[in-house]
């Protein structure tokens, strides 16, 4: 080994004489992409238009994005304070849900994670500061994640798997949902017709303005003539597509694929390419100048590896990996949480770990407008309780970390 | 749908239907049902990740100049592809093997220098190091596309016809190499060494006199010095820029009171209003 080191030193000296004896130059600088990262087993989520919207109802345990949520526990929905954005007070809008059971425990036979978000970008910008706050300071967020789990035997669904033949039904009727957003529980009733239900005053006002004003009177007349009340006459199947709000995000089904299925095929033959290497290469003693804006700074390097990783499957909108060693794929190096920023579980005080992340391609599929004030994010990483604890509350709040792109510099 | 064990027909202990998080199953490698034909499609179709990408894909931004005007960072090379399209040509200037000493011998990687350009005022330079030559070249092309800059051309004397040379004497420096470009009359051609000549051809400069100093053997620095020189062509304040600039709204900037004078109709927000 010692003689090798001497050889190295002598090589370096003759470099300066710039004589073409050796063909290679020595590289002291360590590039970032040296280490072979252990590829974790990542599952990707892709969106697709559903073949039949009926397949996205709650008794079929779907994974979907946009539209209305398919509540797993249809009765004990999140309460008033959890439904609204911490900044503007508007009820949150449904972003996506994924069906992520944990096979080791029986209490998590069914397990769905729901993500809700305020569609306003200004709230998201303020949320950025909130997520850094410690839990004791009671941060108010505009991105909320809920987890709901059920054992196999439960009062809501049959213990047998659904046959997906169009006649599956849940065992019980769910709670009535808001007529405007179809997302949250409709606790308040329209005072005149007593048929339309709302989750909040804001939605009642919106629905009134956009057509309920006319419909209301007709509803009153109708209920006087027909004797049966509307709730019992409807069958147990939840209604499909009967939401008054038009600004909900378009509904998609999330298809699950493994990332390794997209691994690139072998590169083209190296034979033709290596002939580009000329026979006698002169030494280059200024390699240290290579490290500047053409190569990388930390942010660019992170972005480059991010791009490379998603290039395997450009249509992905979700990356899932519940491995304890898993780390999310950050597009930027700034704004990443450290271990101290991740709080403990709200309910069992145990550690929480990364589970999945939402990618910005989803904005493209949702057709979000590209105005200065429209929604945009780098990635949203969701951290959940490692033990997936149970408690008396059906929908437990989990932690979301949003990484935004830095705003463009002003000219 | 040949799913392993669980799935539609009632998987014990793993929920119903297809869910995320199927444990440590690494045995699914073989499932390549979506490969082949389907995969080609996915490769070509670009799903933008940034807001600028979405704007370009929609077609709201039609030229690179709109991006330059507001100094927006371009993070996806497909943006340049969409805007400059087929006019962009690329060339590998050099592949250089670099080595690192490890306990088990030397580890060789290849460094690729690639220049892209559309011979009409846009050039880009990319450098990438990778274990295989093809990867390095591919990566360098992407980086080159991300670094495309506009090149200002002007006249030597009479302002007849199209601009053909640099507008003024400019100089660029990188390491010890300095490259100086001097306007030349028509027909002079590019008077430069082999390496910067290539870059200048890609930029679309037809006539120029150059002068270089320093260790021009180091190709990396030489190419970067020329590139730096070209970047400065738009940075030089000439009398035609003396007129006061009227600022327009950037596609990302919230409207503030400072930008009080909306002018020409390249405002993207304005066109949107007109359409709806």
Interatomic CA distance for residues A299 and B125, integer angstroms:
19
Give me the mean pLDDT over the B241-260 stretch.
69
Q: Which of residues 288-317 of A touch B (CB under 8 A)?
A: 289-290, 292-295, 303-304, 307, 310, 313-315
Instruction: Please write the tens of the pLDDT for every residue from A310-327.
Output: 888 888 999 998 888 888
What is the least distance, in Å, from the CA of A323 to any CA of chain B? 8
Alpha-helical segments (H) within A245-404: 270-274, 298-311, 361-366
Q: How many CB atoms lie within 10 A of CB A244?
A: 18
Q: What is the pLDDT of residues B160-213, one digit of tens each?
A: 999 999 999 999 999 999 999 999 999 999 999 999 999 999 999 999 999 999
Whether residues B54 and A18 touch (CB distance < 8 A) is answered with no
What are the pLDDT digits (tens) for B108-128?
Answer: 999 999 999 999 999 999 999
Give which of B14, B15, B90 to mutate to test A binding, by max A Cβ within 10 Å. Answer: B15
For the stretch A36-64, what's the b/e string if a residue is b when 16 or more beta carbons lie within 10 angstroms of its beta carbon?
Answer: eeeeebbbbbbbeebeeeebbbbbbbbbb
Which span out of A38-42, A229-233, B62-66, B113-117 was modeled with the highest average pLDDT? B113-117
Mean pLDDT for the stretch of residues A238-257: 79
Q: Token digits for A302? A: 């992170």
Q: Chain A 173-232, CB below 8 Å of chain B: which residues?
A: none
- Closest by Cβ to B175, choosing from A104, A267, A286: A286
| Percent of chain A with pLDDT strictly greater than 70 | 75
pLDDT > 90 in chain A, percent: 11
Among B39, B47, B253, whose Cβ lies nearest the Cβ of A372? B253
Query: Nearest C-alpha of chain B: how many angstroms from A196?
Result: 32
User: Which tens digit of pLDDT belongs to each residue from B144-159?
Assistant: 999 999 999 999 999 9
CA geometry: angle at A358 spanning A356 and A364, to 5°?
160
Host H or E run for residue A379: strand A379-385
For residue B276, pLDDT over 50 is answered with: no
Please count the residue pairs, one from chain A and one from chain B, whose beta carbons lie less than 8 angstroms apart.
225
CB contact under 8 A, A284 and B42: no
Instruction: Tell me the two tokens of residue B151.
Output: 């090149």
Mutate to test the interface with B, among A253, A375, A411 (most CBs of B within 10 A): A411
Please tell me the distance in Å from A166's CA to the nearest CA on chain B: 14
pLDDT above 50: residue A112: yes
CA A286 to chain centroid, in Å, comes to 45
CB A355 within 8 A of CB A320: yes
Lowest-pLDDT choice from A61-75, A157-171, B29-43: B29-43
Inform me whether the pLDDT recorded for A25 exceeds 60.
Answer: no
Q: How far is B224 from chain A (nearest CA, A)?
A: 9
pTM of the complete model: 0.77
pLDDT exceeds 60 at position A40? yes
Q: Give the model confidence (pLDDT) of B66-80 as tens digits.
A: 899 888 889 999 999
């Amino acid at each position: 080994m010692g003689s090798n080191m001497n050889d190295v030193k002598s090589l370096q000296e003759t470099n300066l004489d710039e004589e073409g004896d050796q063909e290679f130059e020595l590289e002291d600088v360590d590039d970032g992409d040296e280490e072979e990262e252990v590829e974790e087993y990542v599952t990707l989520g892709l969106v697709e238009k559903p073949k039949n919207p009926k397949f996205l109802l709650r008794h079929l345990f779907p994974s979907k994005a946009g539209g209305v949520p398919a509540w797993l526990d249809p009765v004990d929905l999140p309460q008033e304070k959890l439904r609204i954005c911490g900044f503007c007070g508007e009820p949150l809008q449904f972003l996506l849900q994924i069906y992520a059971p944990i096979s080791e425990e029986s209490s998590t036979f069914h397990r769905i994670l729901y993500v809700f978000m305020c569609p306003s970008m200004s709230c998201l910008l303020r949320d950025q500061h909130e997520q850094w706050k410690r839990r004791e300071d009671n941060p108010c967020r505009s991105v909320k994640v809920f987890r709901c789990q059920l054992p196999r035997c439960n009062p809501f669904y049959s213990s047998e798997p659904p046959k997906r033949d169009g006649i599956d039904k849940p065992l019980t009727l769910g709670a009535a949902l808001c007529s405007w957003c179809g997302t949250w529980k409709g606790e308040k009733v329209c005072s005149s017709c007593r048929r339309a239900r709302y989750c909040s005053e804001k939605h009642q006002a919106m629905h009134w303005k956009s057509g309920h004003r006319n419909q209301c009177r007709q509803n009153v007349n109708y209920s006087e003539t027909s004797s049966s009340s509307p709730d019992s006459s409807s069958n147990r199947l939840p209604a499909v597509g009967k939401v008054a709000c038009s600004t909900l995000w378009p509904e998609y089904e999330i298809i699950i694929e493994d990332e390794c299925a997209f691994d690139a095929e072998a590169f083209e033959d190296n034979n033709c390419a290596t002939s580009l290497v000329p026979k006698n290469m002169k030494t280059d003693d200024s390699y240290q100048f290579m490290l500047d804006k053409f190569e990388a700074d930390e942010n660019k390097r992170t972005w480059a590896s991010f791009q490379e990783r998603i290039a395997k499957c450009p249509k992905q909108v979700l990356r899932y990996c519940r491995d304890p060693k898993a780390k999310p794929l950050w597009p930027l190096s700034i704004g990443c949480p450290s271990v101290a920023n991740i709080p403990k579980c709200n309910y069992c005080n145990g550690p929480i770990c990364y589970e999945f992340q939402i990618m910005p391609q989803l904005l493209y599929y949702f057709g979000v407008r590209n105005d200065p004030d429209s929604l945009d994010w780098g990635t949203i990483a969701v951290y959940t309780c490692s033990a997936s604890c149970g408690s008396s509350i059906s929908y437990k709040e989990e932690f979301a970390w949003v990484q935004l792109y830095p705003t463009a510099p002003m000219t | 749908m040949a799913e392993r064990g669980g799935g539609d027909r009632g998987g014990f202990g793993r929920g119903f239907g297809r869910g995320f998080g199927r444990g440590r199953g690494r045995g699914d490698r073989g499932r390549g049902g979506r490969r082949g034909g389907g995969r080609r499609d996915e490769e070509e179709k670009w799903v933008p990740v940034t807001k600028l990408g979405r704007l370009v894909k929609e077609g709201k931004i039609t030229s690179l100049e709109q991006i330059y005007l507001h100094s927006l960072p371009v993070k996806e090379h497909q943006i340049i592809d969409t805007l400059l399209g087929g006019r962009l040509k690329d060339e590998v200037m050099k592949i250089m093997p670099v080595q690192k000493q490890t306990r088990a011998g030397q580890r060789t990687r290849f460094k690729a220098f690639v220049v892209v350009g559309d011979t009409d005022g846009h050039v880009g330079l990319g450098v990438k190091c990778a274990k295989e030559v093809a990867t390095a070249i591919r990566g360098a092309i992407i980086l080159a596309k991300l670094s495309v800059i506009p090149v200002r051309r002007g006249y030597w004397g009479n302002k007849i016809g199209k601009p053909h040379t640099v507008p003024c004497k400019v100089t660029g420096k990188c390491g010890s190499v300095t490259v100086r470009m001097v306007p030349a009359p028509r027909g002079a051609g590019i008077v430069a060494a082999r390496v910067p000549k290539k870059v200048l051809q890609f930029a679309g400069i037809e006539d120029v006199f150059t002068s270089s100093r320093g260790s021009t053997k180091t190709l990396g620095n030489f190419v970067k010095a020329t590139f730096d020189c070209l970047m400065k062509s738009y940075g030089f304040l000439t009398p035609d820029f003396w007129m006061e600039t009227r600022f327009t709204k950037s596609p990302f900037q919230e409207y503030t009171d400072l930008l009080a004078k909306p002018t020409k109709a390249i405002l993207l927000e304005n066109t949107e209003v007109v359409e709806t």
